[in-house]
Amino acid sequence: MAPLKQVVSSEGLFDMLREAMKELPVIAPAERKDQPGFHHFARLQQAEDFVPDYVTTTLPPKKAFFQPSETLFTFTTDQPPALELVSDTEHFVLAGVHPCDLAGLDALDLAYSQPPAEVRWPADRGLATVVGIDCMPDDYCFCSSVGTCLTRQGCDLFLTKVDRGYLAEVYTPAGDTMLAKVRTWEPTEADIRDAEQWRERKVERMTAHLEADPAEIADLLEAGGLAHLWKETAERCYSCGSCNTTCPACFCFDMHDEFDLSLKTGIRRRTWDSCQLLEFALVAGRHNFRQEREQRVRHRWHRKFLYLYRRLGRAYCTGCGRCSRACTADINLVDVTNALIAHARKAADHA
Amino acid sequence: MPDRLVRAPYPMTKVFYRPALAQVLRVDQLTQSENLLALRMGTGEPLNHEPGQFVQVSLFGYGEAPISICSSPKGKEGFEICVREVGTVSGAIHDLEPGDWIGIRGPYGRGFPVVELEGKDVLIVAGGIGMAPLRSLVGHIRDNRRRYGRIIVVYGAKNPAAILFKNDLKVWFEDEGIELYVTVDSPDESWTGRSGVVTSIIRDLDLGSSASMNAVVVGPPVMYRFVAMELFRHGLTEDRIIFSLERRFKCGIGKCGHCQVNDLYVCRDGPVFRYSELLGRSEAVEVWAPEEQ
Ligand SMILES: Cc1cc2nc3c(=O)[nH]c(=O)nc-3n(C[C@H](O)[C@H](O)[C@H](O)COP(=O)(O)OP(=O)(O)OC[C@H]3O[C@@H](n4cnc5c(N)ncnc54)[C@H](O)[C@@H]3O)c2cc1C
Ligand code: SF4
Ligand code: SF4
Ligand code: FES
């Protein structure tokens, strides 16, 4: 069903956030104080801090639901111990989410809800009202290659820039309630056309592309014979793990206990983890079944484009380009993937 | 205030990472490094496990470790685990005394295919601590003896002092429904039984017509390849050889990614796999010779 559409002025958008902030925390992209020109998802102190045309943040908005390090529960050393679940997330608004990041949240919804489903992620997810916003690509974005360009999944309200403000698509009653706090107008044909042109321009301006669709990429990874390309990539990689920790579709984690100083109480924590780190696949007896860096590099591509694609029906890459922006070794996911594609096609031609 | 988000409800099989509490009923020292613990859930509810499944055992302040349930599902009171002291959590488990409380999540994982094995002959091969999950299987088979064909158990331990579950072995030895072979790698003067590795026993077994024979093998990784080779010589095929794999688990439910063997999550898709499921999976290192990787 087509969503209800309304137009809100540019000032009206800020008014909407201001209204929401009276009742709830609002997390949205704002300029980083420590790095002017860069943006991050942070709790807004004032509505004016919201930057509607921000460039992709370093960390994805998944951190609003799953912090890089978070407490699962507290324990005591009593007999029997007292265990208490900890959830520091309250109802909040997550605003200014690009379509690729909506896709990222949706990918994690799917992964964490596979039976046996975990409760933690969906419980926190259910607390948020999500406002999406359309964007323009930079040199690293390639969402049109992985089908996330138009994602509206999991958002309550979605905004697209038009000449006289924003065209708001209303997807849920929560989105409707937010929008109802400010003055809106029925969209005219011009508004609808503006929004369509925005989407067309977005695709036209995309410079990075995967040379095959996710289905073909999965097939060629499965076919294998790419060892020298894994090796080449691994020779440049530092195994720093930044490509995982910045990724909206990565969801691996570690768990460990911490006592507090009294040694009478403590917490179990979980923290984001990365399959590129050497210790990730360590097993008993210090054996490591991904000891070699090329095995870890290969695992990253396989997991994103083959294993999870086969298991859950979608590539675990949203085309956001964060991993390539973050990589100190300048390993670009699009370039590497295209090299894999080119090699596989050449090999197929010779066969 | 915005309404709460209205969205289709999430499927809630519900894993809170907070464990349930269980109390230690008994502790038996089986060997120098292995203890058998009888546990009961704080709720008094049975665990309802399948042989081959595991629980995530929490020692608060130390962490969690996956441990096989080593008692038969039919156990009247609680369940048992057998733990070898190797590190942080297992070390803390060894300090437990009756009455102490620990945390349990699970049972998790896919256990041995006990229903599919009904009506079949089963060769059970255990190496070292691998006897723990297999004790649950043997217990289940003995509890339902008529449902299974010929049952052979081959158990190898490092030396006589390392043999686990001696009381059970005595009972199984008396049980006419079980052909039991126990062997040690390094015998001492007192040892009158067999010596040598399990593969030498398997080699000499008369499996008759092996058409309905299935093998269930749990032991140290190095054992798998060699046992499989012997089983192939007896005519068993990959789909009739069953292994249980070990990885370092964190979540135990297919989320954290730590136990992944190529596309498989050992915790969720296993830990029990048929050899045929592992074929072509380069990270199932225990079933390949290193040069084949
Ligand atoms: C499905 C499944 C079932 C299992 N069932 C059982 C069972 O029934 N009984 C049982 O006893 N075990 C079982 N295990 C194995 C058990 O989970 C592991 O032994 C687990 O790691 C023990 O946790 P730990 O905290 O005691 O060890 P850890 O402290 O995590 O240490 C694990 C291993 O790593 C080594 N290690 C750790 N840190 C270092 C270091 N810094 N330097 C060198 N070496 C190090 C230790 O020597 C040890 O070998 C099972 C495992 C799986 C996956
Ligand atoms: S960010 Fe780059 S250098 Fe770091 S692990 Fe990823 S690919 Fe390797
Ligand atoms: S793999 Fe890279 S481009 Fe794809 S979603 Fe993750 S960070 Fe974004
Ligand atoms: S232990 Fe977390 S995915 Fe298997």
| pLDDT tens digits along A130-164 | 999 999 999 999 999 999 999 999 899 999 999 99
Q: Mean pLDDT across the stretch A100-105?
A: 96
Interface test with B, best of A106, A283, A308, A316 (most B CBs within 10 A): A283
Model pLDDT, residue A113: 87
Q: Identity (one letter) of the amino acid at A168?
A: A
Residues A169 and A272 in one domain: no
Domain assignment of residue A351, yes or no: no
Radius of gyration from C-alpha coordinates of chain A? 22
Residue B2 pLDDT greater than 60, yes or no: no
DSSP summary character for residue B30: -
Q: Identity (one letter) of the amino acid at A223?
A: A
Model pLDDT, residue B212: 85
Residue B7 pLDDT greater than 60, yes or no: no
Tokens of A123: 């419980």
* Domain final residue pick, A170, A205, A240: A205
Q: Are B178 and B137 in contact (CB under 8 A)?
A: no
Residues A30 and A142 in one domain: yes
Interchain proximity A290–B283, CB inside 8 Å: yes
Residues A57 and A127 in one domain: yes
* Domain final residue pick, A175, A205, A235: A205
**Among residues A160, A153, A158, which one has the least CA distance to residue A136?**
A160
pLDDT above 70 as % of chain B = 93
Quick check: bond before B271 cis, omega within 30? yes
Between β-strands B241-244 and A4-8, what pairing exists: parallel, antiparallel or unpaired? unpaired
Residues A155 and A262 in one domain: no
Domain assignment of residue A317, yes or no: yes
Q: Are A206 and A142 in contact (CB under 8 A)?
A: yes
Model pLDDT, residue B1: 31
Model pLDDT, residue B4: 33
Model pLDDT, residue A88: 67
- B92-113 pLDDT, tens digit per residue, is 999 999 999 999 999 999 999 9
The CATH number fitting domain B20-108, selected from 3.40.50.9100, 3.40.50.1820, 2.40.30.10, 3.40.190.10? 2.40.30.10
| Nearest ligand for residue A330 CA | 2
Residue in chain A lying closest to B284 (CA): A289
Between β-strands B121-127 and B151-157, what pairing exists: parallel, antiparallel or unpaired? parallel
Residue A226 pLDDT greater than 80, yes or no: yes
Q: Mean pLDDT across the stretch B24-37?
A: 96
Residue in chain B lying closest to A281 (CA): B258
Residue B3 pLDDT greater than 50, yes or no: no
Describe the crossing of helices A293-302 and A333-350 by its angle, rounded to 10 degrees: 90
Ligand 4 atom nearest B267 alpha carbon:
4
Q: Are B42 and B29 in contact (CB under 8 A)?
A: no
Model pLDDT, residue B280: 85
Cα–Cα dist A142/A318, whole Å: 8
Contacts of residue B223 in chain A, CB cutoff 8 Å?
A: none
Residue B56 pLDDT greater than 80, yes or no: yes
pLDDT above 90 as % of chain B = 81
Cα–Cα dist A322/A56, whole Å: 8
Q: Considering only A179-183, B33-37, B208-212, B240-244, which range has the smallest mean pLDDT?
A: B208-212
Ligand 4 atom nearest B251 alpha carbon:
2
Residues A160 and A287 in one domain: no
Residue B291 pLDDT greater than 60, yes or no: no
- B179-203 pLDDT, tens digit per residue, is 999 999 999 998 998 999 999 999 9
Interchain proximity A116–B61, CB inside 8 Å: no
Residues A116 and A151 in one domain: yes
Q: Where are the alpha helices (DSSP H) in A50-131?
A: 99-112, 120-125
Residue A193 pLDDT greater than 90, yes or no: yes
Q: Identity (one letter) of the amino acid at A41?
A: F
Cα–Cα dist A299/B9, whole Å: 33
Q: Mean pLDDT across the stretch B239-263?
A: 94
Model pLDDT, residue B14: 63
Model pLDDT, residue A6: 94
Residues A199 and A252 in one domain: no
CB under 8 Å to A330, separation ≥6 — which residues?
Answer: A236
Model pLDDT, residue B179: 95
Contacts of residue A253 in chain B, CB cutoff 8 Å?
A: 250-251, 255-257
CATH 3.40.50.720, applies to B121-292: no
The pTM of the full predicted model, rounded to 2 decimals, is 0.92
Interchain proximity B11–A266, CB inside 8 Å: no
Q: Considering only A13-27, A281-295, B30-44, which range has the smallest mean pLDDT?
A: A281-295
Q: Look over chain A and give the mean of its residue pLDDT values, rounded to a whole number.
A: 93
Residues near ligand 3 (Cβ within 6 A): A 246-249, 304, 317-323, 333
**Among residues A76, A161, A139, which one has the least CA distance to residue A319?**
A139
Contacts of residue B3 in chain A, CB cutoff 8 Å?
A: 173-174, 177
- Give the residue, B222 or A101, on which the prediction is more confident: A101
Domain assignment of residue A349, yes or no: no
Domain assignment of residue A176, yes or no: yes
Tokens of A77: 């050393």
Q: Quickly list DSSP for A308-350.
A: HHHHHSS-S--S--HHHHH-TT---HHHHHHHHHHHHHHHHHH
Ligand 1 pocket, B110 CB below 6 A?
A: no
- Assign A266 to helix, strand or coil: strand
Model pLDDT, residue B9: 36
Q: Look over chain B and give the mean of its residue pLDDT values, rounded to a whole number.
A: 90
Q: Quickly list DSSP for A207-224.
A: ----SS-HHHHHHHHHH-
Residue A122 pLDDT greater than 80, yes or no: no
Cα–Cα dist A350/A310, whole Å: 27
- Give the residue, B172 or B75, on which the prediction is more confident: B172
| Nearest ligand for residue B261 CA | 4
Interchain proximity A116–B99, CB inside 8 Å: no
Residues A232 and A105 in one domain: no
Ligand 2 pocket, A245 CB below 6 A?
A: no
Residue A283 pLDDT greater than 90, yes or no: no
Please tell me the total count of domains within chain A. Answer: 2
**Among residues B271, B272, B208, B196, which one has the least CA distance to residue B236?**
B208
Indicate the domain borders of chain B.
20-108, 121-292
Residues A178 and A322 in one domain: no
Q: Identity (one letter) of the amino acid at B241?
A: I
Interchain proximity B2–A118, CB inside 8 Å: no
Ligand 3 atom nearest A146 alpha carbon:
4
> What range does the domain containing A296 cover?
214-344
Q: Does A75 touch chain B (CB under 8 A)?
A: yes
Q: What ipTM was predicted for this assembly?
A: 0.91
Could you tell me how many CB contacts below 8 A there are between chain A and chain B? 166
Residues A133 and A180 in one domain: yes
Residue A324 pLDDT greater than 90, yes or no: yes
pLDDT above 70 as % of chain A = 99
Residues A85 and A221 in one domain: no
Q: How far is the CA of A299 from the centre of ligand 2 (A)?
A: 13
Model pLDDT, residue B165: 97
Residue with CA closest to ligand 1 atom 41: A286
Model pLDDT, residue B282: 86
Please, which pLDDT band fits residue A1 given cuts at 50, 70 and 90?
A: low
Q: Are A101 and A61 in contact (CB under 8 A)?
A: yes
Q: Does A110 touch chain B (CB under 8 A)?
A: no
Q: Mean pLDDT across the stretch A183-197?
A: 96
Burial class, A28, CB count within 10 angstroms (exposed 0-12 / middle 13-18 / buried 19+): buried
Residue B289 pLDDT greater than 70, yes or no: no
Q: Which residue's entry shows tokens 């046996």?
A: A116
Domain assignment of residue A99, yes or no: yes
Q: How far is the CA of A270 from the centre of ligand 3 (A)?
A: 22
Name beta bridge partners: B123: B152, B215
Residues A194 and A226 in one domain: no
Domain assignment of residue A62, yes or no: yes
* Domain final residue pick, A205, A237, A260: A205
